[in-house]
Structure 1
Amino acid sequence: MNKRILLIDKDPAVIDVITLLLESEGYQIYVSKKPFEHSEIYDIKPDLILIHNGLANEGSEISKRIKSEPGTSSIPVILTSTNPNIAQIARENGADNYLLKPFDIDELCLLIGKTIKANLC
């Protein structure tokens, strides 16, 4: 069974590129358009959530909410951002990992695989 990834981003170009890339790697991608509805997590049951932390830091708030609720706290979260403080933001909001934009596509694939694998152990 393919691993399911919930992608939360508002940039259609980024969504298209990441979706195409990750589907070619065998992942099943679900896209959440803004505004994000927490109930989507229960419907999709993702193995990982990839969130862009935009200018308003809405991604970090989504991560914090996911990690604070018992039904979703075990789902690994990766935050992406152009903010050079993304490591601290990720740590403070419960994200399992982070990636500074712009990033290399191979780096994204490796990080997703590593994060999902770490969650299985």
Structure 2
Amino acid sequence: MRTIFMVEDDQAIREILEIFLISENYIVKSFGTVREFLSRDLSINPDLYLLDVMLPDGSGIELCEQIKNDDLQVHIPVMIMSAHAQLYQMSNCCAPDDFVTKPFDIDNLLLRIKKVIGEDSLI
């Protein structure tokens, strides 16, 4: 089973995505804040980071930069979700593997997740 680490401050979105992704046989660890995310168990690496941009105590873009600048995590795909930011705004600071605008179609999100983590051949 693939593991997804999700950082999303909206509890309703976080819970819906967790339930949906678990039903699709993913292991999901979710965090509501940057602080929670930074205090995670660093010995576990996910197959995907799914990050919201606007968080109460930081930014998913900054988390993306940290992940992409870490030699031990640079190979892990990052998907950014946002209702406000646009992909071109991130091009100089973060290079996410995919960008999803909110609101999004949950089935489309699943297809994009599978593509980013290399499961698209299983579709």
Per the shorter chain, which TM-score range?
Answer: 0.7 to 0.9
Higher helix fraction: Structure 1 or Structure 2?
A: 1
| 3-state SS of paired residue (1:109) | helix
Q: Which residue of 1 aligns with 2:115?
A: 114
| 3-state SS of paired residue (1:30) | strand
Identity %: 29
| 3-state SS of paired residue (1:88) | helix
* 5+ long unaligned stretches in structure 2: none
Q: Does the Cα contact within 8 Å between 1:86 and 1:99 map onto a contact in 2?
A: no
Aligned ranges 1:82-93 → 2 under 5 Å: 82-83=83-84, 85-92=85-92, 93=94
Aligned length: 116
* 5+ long unaligned stretches in structure 1: none
Q: Which residue identity does 1:42 align to in structure 2?
A: L
Query: Relative to structure 1, is the Cα distance of residues 43 and 12 closer, same or farther in structure 2, using a 3 angstrom cutoff?
Result: farther
In the TM superposition, residue 87 of structure 1 has moved relative to its aligned partner by: 1.4
- Deviations along 1:59-99, one digit per CA (max 9) or x if unpaired, are 1011011101111111100000012x421134331211110
The CA distance in 2 between the partners of 1:37 and 1:96, in whole Å, is: 19
- Deviations along 1:87-119, one digit per CA (max 9) or x if unpaired, are 11343312111100000001110000000008x
The CA distance in 1 between the partners of 2:41 and 2:31, in whole Å, is: 10
The CA distance in 1 between the partners of 2:100 and 2:62, in whole Å, is: 17
Q: Which residue of 2 aligns with 1:49?
A: 49
Q: Which residue of 1 aligns with 2:25?
A: 26
Query: Relative to structure 1, is the Cα distance of residues 105 and 33 closer, same or farther in structure 2, using a 3 angstrom cutoff?
Result: same
In the TM superposition, residue 18 of structure 1 has moved relative to its aligned partner by: 0.3
Q: Which residue of 2 aligns with 1:3?
A: 2
Query: Relative to structure 1, is the Cα distance of residues 53 and 112 closer, same or farther in structure 2, using a 3 angstrom cutoff?
Result: same
The CA distance in 1 between the partners of 2:55 and 2:5, in whole Å, is: 20
In the TM superposition, residue 43 of structure 1 has moved relative to its aligned partner by: 3.1
Q: Which residue identity does 1:40 align to in structure 2?
A: R
Q: Which residue identity does 2:68 align to in structure 1?
A: K
CA RMSD of aligned residues (A): 2.0
The CA distance in 1 between the partners of 2:113 and 2:77, in whole Å, is: 9
| 3-state SS of paired residue (1:60) | helix
